Amino acid sequence: MDKKEVLYRMMLIREMEHKIESLFSQGLLRGTTHCCIGQEAVPAAMSYLIDINRDYLCSGHRAHGLSMMMTMKPETLLGEIMGKPYGMAKGLGGSQHVYYKNYFTNGITGGMATIATGIAFALKQEKTDAISVVDFGDGAMNEGYVLEAFNLAAEMKLPVLYILENNGYAMSTPVETANPFMVFEDRVKGFALPYTRVEASDFDNLYSVLETAVKKVRETREPQFVEVLTHRFCGHSKSDKRAYIPQERDDYWHEHDCIKSVAKQLSEAEVKEVEESVAAEIERVYQYCINH
């Protein structure tokens, strides 16, 4: 895997999110948005592991990164948020409701877990090697329909991969306030789902865990569950000032930034080249969306 390309994809997600936040602050975008700044590792990894022409991928409201990685055309995301007809959903879905080929999102907390499980049921009947994948946040782990989806997938042995991006907060509610534990291993294993936990700070390790999970689902036609411990450097949405996040938590994740884990494998000249390439692409996309 070309680490310069990996770094490019992760930095493209981050810088596009910063651009989106800036445009919202200038009043150039309407509605709301939920950025994934700090959580670029999973979408970057999944862009290498999922064939969106064959497999199915579902996500929720914090899905800008996955959206860009599925199309590899950032203007389709920014255009969508700006209401442009060339947006992923022809400008009708906004930030939260987009689609592309076999990729779908909605704004309901954990709402796509049931959809992805139903898709997995269909794939099981078709006897294909395609798989269903769904990505959601820790707030979804207290939704009844999400737990029902886990139960159904385990009982019927469906080819679905559940990816929990646990960033520690359901909006502003800390995980430990809403649950008797910080990680969800016991709850997941209670449904007899194979469970793995990994921290997003080491991209190579994260990629290896997700690659193994995808392979197991594809080969066994049975479910897997991966919990990814991560962090967002932005608020839940554009009006969130993040006053509830302790400084020491921010400090830890800035030190263990997933982008740094890739950048440190490259030379300073290579990193600078990627940064310049990303900046040029963000400007190109911005100019295109402003003028078309």
User: pLDDT tens digits for 10-38?
Assistant: 999 999 999 999 898 888 887 778 889 99
Contacts 24+ apart (CB under 8 A), 176-183: 178/139, 178/142, 179/141, 179/142, 183/227, 183/229
User: What average pLDDT is seen over the chain?
Assistant: 93
pLDDT above 90 for 240 = no
Q: State how far the alpha carbon of 100 is from the alpha carbons of 45, 56, 88, 218, in Å.
A: 18, 10, 6, 22
Buried b (16+ CB within 10 A) or exposed e, 69-106: bbbeebbbbbbbbbebeebbbeeebbbbbbbbebbbbb
Q: For 242-270, give the DSSP string.
A: -TTS-HHHHHHHHHT-HHHHHHTTS-HHH
Structure tokens of 91?
């400008």
pLDDT of res. 287 = 96
Q: Please give the DSSP secondary-structure letter assigned to residue 66.
A: H
pLDDT of res. 6 = 97
pLDDT of res. 69 = 95
Could you tell me if 198 and 228 are in contact, meaning their C-beta atoms sit under 8 angstroms apart? yes
pLDDT of res. 263 = 97
pLDDT of res. 42 = 97
Comparing 277 with 232, which gets the higher pLDDT?
A: 277
pLDDT above 90 for 179 = no
> Which helix (H) or strand (E) is 173 found in, with range?
strand 173-174
- Band of pLDDT at residue 256, cut at 50, 70 and 90: very high
Q: Which of 88, 154, 102 is nearest to 133 (CA)?
A: 102
Q: Which of 199, 170, 214, 175 is nearest to 51 (CA)?
A: 214
Domain 3-291 fold: Rossmann fold (3.40.50)
- Band of pLDDT at residue 180, cut at 50, 70 and 90: confident
Q: Which of 103, 94, 82, 86 is nearest to 19 (CA)?
A: 82
Q: How many separate helices (H) and strands (E) can be counted in the chain? A: 12, 9
Comparing 74 with 235, which gets the higher pLDDT?
A: 74
pLDDT of res. 277 = 98
pLDDT of res. 234 = 82
CA separation for the pair 275, 262 (Å, rounded): 13
Q: Locate the domains of the chain by residue range.
A: 3-291
pLDDT of res. 285 = 96
Structure tokens of 224?
């897997």
CA separation for the pair 196, 213 (Å, rounded): 9
Q: Using only C-alpha atoms, what is the Rg of the chain?
A: 18
Looking at the chain, the whole-number percentage of residues with pLDDT higher than 70 is: 100
> Which helix (H) or strand (E) is 136 found in, with range?
strand 132-137
Q: Which of 145, 138, 148 is nearest to 236 (CA)?
A: 138
- Band of pLDDT at residue 127, cut at 50, 70 and 90: confident
pLDDT of res. 243 = 81
